[in-house]
Amino acid sequence: MSGADIARGSGQTRAYISRISTGQANVGLDLLVFLATHHHVSIDWFLTGIGSPIRSIMLTDAAEDQKLRQELLNLREEVEALKRLVGKKACKRKPSIGR
């Protein structure tokens, strides 16, 4: 797929896709789900590189689509919780004093 194809299919801008391809931006969850679904690749494999890239469950009906959407929402909640945790730990750090 070209960057334009990815942008068109995922609803993202071509500029955003270009920034990702040059390492200037990170892949968002919506784009990750689009790529995993389009290429029939496991999201876990995209995120961790562990296990098989082949999805064991193919989306075939509305129930499976709803399941994937719920998994995406759960993942977003986990990411937000991690961001809050990291933010709290960063605030608790003592300022370093030059040696």
pLDDT at 90 over 80: no
Token pair 């790529």 is at which residue? 35
Q: Decide: residue 21, CB within 10 A, 0-12 exposed, 13-18 middle, 19+ buried.
A: exposed
| DSSP letters spanning 14-68 | HHHHHHHHTTSSPPPHHHHHHHHHHHTB-HHHHHH--S-SB-SS---SHHHHHHH
CA dihedral 46, 50, 51, 56 (to 10 degrees): -30
- List, for residues 42-57, the tens digit of each pLDDT value: 887 877 877 777 765 5
pLDDT at 15 over 90: yes
pLDDT band at 24 (very low <50, low <70, confident <90, very high): very high
pLDDT band at 2 (very low <50, low <70, confident <90, very high): confident
pLDDT of residue 94: 57
Which of 54 and 32 is assigned the larger pLDDT? 32
Nearest in space to 33 (alpha carbons), one of 1, 63, 75 = 75
The mean pLDDT value of the chain amounts to 78
Distance from C-alpha of 33 to C-alpha of 15, rounded to nearest angstrom: 19
- List, for residues 71-89, the tens digit of each pLDDT value: 877 888 887 877 787 777 6
